[in-house]
Amino acid sequence: MSYTYEAYDVVVVGAGHAGCEAALACARLSLNTLIVTISMDSIALMPCNPNIGGTSKGHLVREIDALGGEMGKNIDKTYIQSKMLNISKGPAVHSLRAQADKQDYSRTMRKILENTPNLTLKQAEVAEIIVEEGKIKAIKTFSGGIYPCKAVVLCTGTYLNARCVYGDVSNYTGPNGLQAATHLTDSLKAIGIEMYRFKTGTPARIDKRSIDFSKMEEQFGDEELIPFSFTNTADKIKKEQVSCWLTYTNEKTHDIIRANIDRSPLYSGNIKGTGPRYCPSIEDKVVKFADKDRHQVFIEPEGNYTNEMYVGGMSSSLPEDVQHQMYRSVAGLENAKIVRNAYAIEYDCINPMQLKPTLEFKKIEGLFSGGQFNGSSGYEEAAAQGLMAGVNAAMKLLGKEQVVLNRSEAYIGVLIDDLVTKETHEPYRMMTSRAEYRLLLRQDNADLRLTKIGYQIGLISEERYQRVLTKEKQIEEEITRLNSTLIGANQEVQALLEECNSNSLKTGTTLGELIRRPELSYELIKSIDKNRKPLTKDVIEQVNINIKYEGYIQRQLKQVEQFKKLEGKVIPKDLDYTKVPSLRIEAKQKLVQIKPISVGQASRISGVSPADISVLLIYLEQYKRKASNE
Ligand SMILES: Cc1cc2nc3c(=O)[nH]c(=O)nc-3n(C[C@H](O)[C@H](O)[C@H](O)COP(=O)(O)OP(=O)(O)OC[C@H]3O[C@@H](n4cnc5c(N)ncnc54)[C@H](O)[C@@H]3O)c2cc1C
């Protein structure tokens, strides 16, 4: 039995971190949008770690915010602890991380969705994607509802044919015992989509009342708060913070695991899916890093509403009895009461090389996708892709230019380019080391890099856009002023330099030159800078960084110029690689499969050598000349 409803412009499948961003983007760009999800009670659910952000992931959240996405605002409302990580290192790796009240996070995002114009919510399982002549026509739910539409954004996360594994038992449910999606994979295979089977895992949750915190190191949030969203100020989001706790595994823990490793589904073969290398289970850590006598364990509150504590660093799928011994061997957890067992989850996702950099499927027009479904791992990676997939579905329907962020503009650009260009056979997790231009792609300047693009897309207001233009101008003017303000080697200056353990001046210099000294900063030279006007903290931060790291920044900008040269060499859609003489077979096969949009993207495909790129460049010149003569 089926029933056809009224048509929508866009249907988003799944209200996880990706689906929420995709649906909000489409609805805010005035498209009639429907979001269909298995359960209205698990919108923006955090089935694993109770935090948003962290190294490189904090960068993604700030970029989502600068483009007009929701995640940054949502965590600023629902965080219970906030911390800037890596502050002892350079600004490129400074990363904000906030512990979230999980239920509050989900409830708050649901409220946003339910009060967004042009957005309709439906609880149902999407079982089929209806395609005609290579174009999206509609979706069909398991209960028979047919929703005609012009575009679909698939954001099914870890639910497709999900299987949760606890030692030698398993059941076909989604995370936290939620219903799995057991029909859609077959429909996707039927329309020619190549699927992968991935896995990830989560640790146990322990009752706070059974933990001895006196045996752990308390981890506090920062007193000086920095919001994720550029629309917020520290005062606006200030609230009382909770603590996290640090403890460690020990030899006893490792012995318990080693003694039962044959019962681990990872090693018994009961788990087939491929797991994330950079988010290993405790079993994997003990086996692969056998020389380590302890591993860090972070005890993190799941929220203010519950006593459940997340045991970060000990995700596992070992049998229940082993889990009980293993967790109770950790200092402070001797009497631990496990509220939820640790488990691993296998699920279906796609080979993302089937996607264009716009996150549209190459084979099916109007079908887009984002999130864990694309082979990534993490709330932040999911939200970033959901936003871009939603934006590009909207741009397509509005007849506007699609948006592809390149690797020199954003971590989001690195994330998507890596997924659609480089083969990944495990869940892809973002890391700062993946971003070759990371000194330019800092979390502190995401607004300066991307707000304009968010404004051009239509997700950023005029007022916010103007605010960023003003900030940009203030930064430029202040840097120019500091670099052109001369000061003499007078007594006052020398006294300040001595106070700051900085070498005295032999002759006059500029304020900019002083700030470049590692031991000095914009703040420290305040007393000798007579014409200084009051500026906001975020402007001062930019002034400091741009003056102090000017040399490195200039060098990276030069590298970006080189990068853009190849990125700018667009490859015609109809180029027939089989006709390119002296191109190696492997390169031909890869180029035909991936259909890169530029020579730059082609150069990043594994199996395409620099020699192949030279051949391609020559052939493209001839191709262009021939085309212009015709
Ligand atoms: C057990 C577990 C452990 C994890 N461990 C880690 C980790 O260690 N590190 C890490 O970075 N990330 C981890 N994650 C991943 C993290 O949760 C995801 O990255 C993130 O939630 C992905 O967001 P998403 O929007 O892509 O999908 P999800 O958050 O999974 O949301 C998908 C949504 O789609 C809905 N849906 C699915 N199929 C259908 C359908 N056919 N019809 C209608 N609705 C549908 C679901 O109900 C759900 O609401 C873990 C996840 C789980 C479950």
- The whole-angstrom distance between residue 443's C-alpha and the CA centroid of its chain comes to 12
Higher pLDDT, 630 or 44: 44
- Among the ranges given (150-154, 371-375, 528-532), the one the predictor scored with the smallest mean pLDDT: 528-532
As for ligand 1, residues whose beta carbon falls within 6 Å of it are: 13-19, 36-39, 42, 45, 47-48, 125-126, 155-160, 175, 181, 184, 200-202, 279, 315, 345, 371-373, 377-379, 382, 429
Task: Name the residue with the closest Cα to ligand 1, atom 21.
Answer: 379
Which CATH architecture is the domain 568-629 placed in?
Answer: Orthogonal Bundle (1.10)
For 171, what's the count of Cα atoms within 13 Å in the CB-facing half-sphere? 7
- To test the pocket of ligand 1, the residue of 24, 45, 48 to mutate (highest count of ligand atoms within 8 Å of its CB) is 48
343 Cα nearest atom in ligand 1: 1
Per-residue confidence (pLDDT) for residue 275, from 0 to 100: 85
Give the predicted TM-score (pTM) of the model.
0.96
Per-residue confidence (pLDDT) for residue 496, from 0 to 100: 96
DSSP 445: G
At 492, is the secondary structure helix, strand, or coil? helix
Q: How confident is the model at residue 232 (pLDDT cuts 50, 70, 90)?
A: very high
- Sequence-distant (6+) residues with CB within 8 A of 551 are none
pLDDT tens digit string along 155-165?
999 999 999 99
Residue 627 has pLDDT above 90, yes or no: no
Per-residue confidence (pLDDT) for residue 629, from 0 to 100: 78
Per-residue confidence (pLDDT) for residue 433, from 0 to 100: 95
Are residues 62 and 446 in contact, defined by beta-carbon separation less than 8 angstroms?
yes
Per-residue confidence (pLDDT) for residue 465, from 0 to 100: 98
For 373, what's the count of Cα atoms within 13 Å in the CB-facing half-sphere? 34
Per-residue confidence (pLDDT) for residue 1, from 0 to 100: 80
How many Å apart are CA 466 and CA 526, to the nearest integer? 28
Q: What is the CATH number of domain 3-198+349-457?
A: 3.50.50.60
Both tokens of residue 389? 């997939």
Average confidence (pLDDT) over 27-37: 98
Q: How confident is the model at residue 628 (pLDDT cuts 50, 70, 90)?
A: confident
For residue 35, what are the β-bridge partners?
Answer: 12, 121
Residue 630 has pLDDT above 80, yes or no: no
Task: Name the residue with the closest Cα to ligand 1, atom 46.
Answer: 14
Per-residue confidence (pLDDT) for residue 274, from 0 to 100: 82
Are residues 179 and 39 in contact, defined by beta-carbon separation less than 8 angstroms?
yes
Both tokens of residue 406? 């390149």
Which CATH architecture is the domain 476-557 placed in?
Answer: Orthogonal Bundle (1.10)
- Dist. CA 460 → ligand 1 center (Å): 27
Task: Compute the Cα dihedral for 461, 463, 467, 470 and give only its sign.
Answer: positive
Q: What amino acid is encoded at 378 in this protein?
A: G
- Dist. CA 250 → ligand 1 center (Å): 31
Per-residue confidence (pLDDT) for residue 598, from 0 to 100: 93
Task: DSSP for 199-245, please give it.
Answer: EEEE--EEEGGG--GGGSEEEPPPSS---SSTT--HHHH------EE
Task: Name the residue with the closest Cα to ligand 1, atom 12.
Answer: 378
Both tokens of residue 404? 């592809």
- To test the pocket of ligand 1, the residue of 11, 158, 189, 340 to mutate (highest count of ligand atoms within 8 Å of its CB) is 158
Q: How confident is the model at residue 532 (pLDDT cuts 50, 70, 90)?
A: very high
CA R_g for the chain: 26
- Among the ranges given (132-136, 199-203, 340-344, 420-424), the one the predictor scored with the smallest mean pLDDT: 420-424
Both tokens of residue 288? 């692969």
Per-residue confidence (pLDDT) for residue 456, from 0 to 100: 98
pLDDT tens digit string along 441-491?
999 999 999 999 999 999 999 999 999 999 999 999 999 999 999 999 999
Average confidence (pLDDT) over 250-255: 98
Q: How confident is the model at residue 181 (pLDDT cuts 50, 70, 90)?
A: very high
Per-residue confidence (pLDDT) for residue 445, from 0 to 100: 98
Task: Name the residue with the closest Cα to ligand 1, atom 38.
Answer: 156
Residue 118 has pLDDT above 90, yes or no: yes
Q: How confident is the model at residue 403 (pLDDT cuts 50, 70, 90)?
A: very high
Which residue in 206, 175, 167 sits closest to 339, CA to CA? 206
Are residues 29 and 457 in contact, defined by beta-carbon separation less than 8 angstroms?
yes
In the chain, where the domains are located: 3-198+349-457, 205-346, 476-557, 568-629
Task: DSSP for 395-409, please give it.
Answer: HHHTTPPP----TTT
- Dist. CA 338 → ligand 1 center (Å): 23
Q: What percent of the chain has pLDDT over 70?
A: 100
- Dist. CA 382 → ligand 1 center (Å): 9
Both tokens of residue 489? 């080697």
Both tokens of residue 41? 């009670």
Per-residue confidence (pLDDT) for residue 154, from 0 to 100: 98
Phi then psi for residue 557, to 5 deg, are -65, -35
Which helix (H) or strand (E) element contains residue 71? helix 71-78
Which helix (H) or strand (E) element contains residue 103? helix 102-114
- Sequence-distant (6+) residues with CB within 8 A of 117 are 27
pLDDT tens digit string along 278-319?
889 999 999 999 999 999 999 999 999 999 999 999 999 999
184 Cα nearest atom in ligand 1: 41
Q: How confident is the model at residue 261 (pLDDT cuts 50, 70, 90)?
A: very high
How many Å apart are CA 180 and CA 312, to the nearest integer? 25
Which residue in 6, 16, 25 sits closest to 45, CA to CA? 16
Per-residue confidence (pLDDT) for residue 413, from 0 to 100: 98
Q: What are the start-end ranges of the H helices in 377-490?
A: 379-397, 411-421, 446-457, 462-484
Helices (H) then strands (E): counts for the chain: 21, 23
- Dist. CA 327 → ligand 1 center (Å): 25
How many Å apart are CA 153 and CA 22, to the nearest integer? 7
Q: How confident is the model at residue 536 (pLDDT cuts 50, 70, 90)?
A: very high
Average confidence (pLDDT) over 535-542: 97
Per-residue confidence (pLDDT) for residue 272, from 0 to 100: 83
Which CATH architecture is the domain 205-346 placed in?
Answer: Beta Barrel (2.40)
Question: What is the average pLDDT score of the chain?
Answer: 96
Which residues in 498-559 belong to E strands, given as ranges? 509-510
How many Å apart are CA 62 and CA 72, to the nearest integer? 6
Q: How confident is the model at residue 265 (pLDDT cuts 50, 70, 90)?
A: very high
What's the length of the chain? 630
From the CB of residue 225, how many other CB atoms can be counted at a distance below 10 Å?
22
How many Å apart are CA 185 and CA 603, to the nearest integer? 32
Are residues 58 and 97 in contact, defined by beta-carbon separation less than 8 angstroms?
yes
- To test the pocket of ligand 1, the residue of 41, 155, 170, 346 to mutate (highest count of ligand atoms within 8 Å of its CB) is 155
